[in-house]
Amino acid sequence: MFQDILISGLVNSGVYALLALGFSLIFGVARIVNIAHTAFYMLAAFALYGLLVVGGMPLLLAIPLAVVAVVALSLVCYKLVIEPVRQHESAVLIATIALALIFQESLLVSFGGSFLGIPNAVEGVTSIIGVRVSYQRLIVLAVVAVTLVATWYLLNRTRLGLAIRAAANDQEIANLMGINVSRVAMYTVGISVALAAIAGVVVAPVFVVDPLMWLAPLVTMLAIVVLGGLGSLKGSVIGAFIIGYVEAITVFAVPSGSYLKGAVALSIMIVVLLLRPEGLFGVVFEEER
């Protein structure tokens, strides 16, 4: 049973980590609570379905195309909808909610409300420490690991990453230092959505795809970023693994109570917030006067 928890938790945590990391990036740099984040994850899954299953494209072409398409869409949305109302925090909030709804409804109209399946990239199962794992899940793990490392490299070893971290730290000073904050924000949006899209395309074959699939991960992801500390990238990843494993343990330890895993995750979040209001690794922002 311990091995089951280990492997099962790893896969789910990995997906959550990608989502939470992207969400934190956008929040840290652009101060946007992007409710539509998981909706982009959903769009990527549907894009893959459309290109692969309906369009019959080869897998190695469909995946990058799906990711690029979703990122491009997100940049367009950002330019048209978010940027004009950047000044009004509350307006940005419902703008992202409205966007998520638009995506959901468009998919509902185009694909219908039924559940869709995407074939695995690689078929077959293997045994790891006594647990049967499908190759697709191993692929998910591999992609998550590679993506996290790549993102770490981008943020810590490149100039763009430096600019992003600077803007996340203090926008005004970053501006004074000659960093084009609005362009950096755009790059950040692109990277963030790319993370969500990558999560969407690798995980889509493992889960079921439907136009309402963005709601459940949204709540868990929000719990994770709050737990880890809003704006803290390290916190998001660690928070993702905590919540991922909590959920795995709940499912295994209480077989007839696996529906509780959502409530357990949220309760943990609330407890942590009571004890440490800014989350585990959160930075308390100076009130921007």
Partner 1 sequence: MSRKLLLTAVAALGLVVSQGVWSQSIKIAVLGPMAFVQGENHWAGAEMARDEINKAGGISVGGVKRQIELVKVDTNEIQSVPDATNAIERAITRDKADFLIGGFRSEAVLAMQEVAMDAKKLFLGAGAADAKLCENVTKDYERYKYWFRITPTKSADLARTIFAVLGSVGEQIRKDLKKETPKVAILSEKAAWTEALVKAAQANLPKMKMEVVGTWQPSPIATDVTAELSAIKRSGADIVFTIVSGPMGIVLGRQMGELQLPAVAFGINVEAQKDGFWQATAGKGNYVATLDTFSEVETTPKTIPFVKAFKERFKKTPTYNAATYDAIHILQTAIEQTGTIDANKLIPVIEKMESVGAAATATWDKSHDLIWAVGKTSGIAVQWQDGQKVAFWPPQTKGMKPFKMPK
Partner 2 sequence: MKGLLAWPQWLWAQLRHEVLVLPSRSFIFFAALLLLVLPFFYDDPYVLRIITMTAIFAIFAASWDLLAGFTGQVNFGHALFFGVGAYTSALLSYHLGWVPLLTVPLGAALAMVTGVLVGIPCLRLRGSYLSLATLAFPLILTGVLFAFPDFSGGELGVSGLKRIMVGSVGNYYVAVVLMLLLCFGMWKIGDSNTGLIFHAIREDEVACRASGINTTRYKLLAFALSGLFAGLAGALFAHFMRVAGPSSLEVALSFQVVIWGIFGGIATIYGPVVAVFVLYPLTEILASFDIFKEIRLLIFAVIVLLVLLFMPQGLTPWIRDKIELVCPRCKNRNVFSRHQCRLCGAELR
Residue 222's binding partner among partner 2, partner 1, none (Cβ under 5 to 8 angstroms by kind) is partner 2
Q: Rule CB under 8 A: say whether 84 interacts with partner 1.
A: no
* CB nearer partner 2, residue 160 or residue 263: 263
User: Of partner 1, partner 2, none, which one does residue 12 interact with (CB within 5 to 8 Å by kind)?
Assistant: partner 1
Q: Does 108 bind partner 1 (CB under 8 A)?
A: yes
Select from 56, 114, 286, 287 the one that contacts partner 1 (CB under 8 A). Answer: 114
Residue with smaller CB distance to partner 1, 205 or 228:
205
Alpha-carbon gap, residue 71 to 55, rounded angstroms:
20
CB of 214 to partner 1, least distance (A): 13
Pick one of partner 2, partner 1, none as the site partner of residue 277 (Cβ within 5 to 8 A by kind). Answer: partner 2
Full DSSP string of 177-230: TT--HHHHHHHHHHHHHHHHHHHHHHHTTTS-B-TTTTHHHHHHHHHHHHHH-T
- For position 134 contacting partner 1 by CB under 8 A, the verdict is yes
Question: Which of partner 1, partner 2, none does residue 224 bind to, with CB < 5 to 8 Å depending on kind?
Answer: none
Q: Which part of the chain contacts partner 1 (CB under 8 A), choosing from 20-28, 193-201, 224-232, 254-262? A: 254-262
Nearest partner of 53 among 209, 215, 214, 197, judged by Cα: 209
117 is a site residue for partner 1 (CB under 8 A): yes
Handedness of CA 103, 105, 106, 107 (dihedral sign): positive
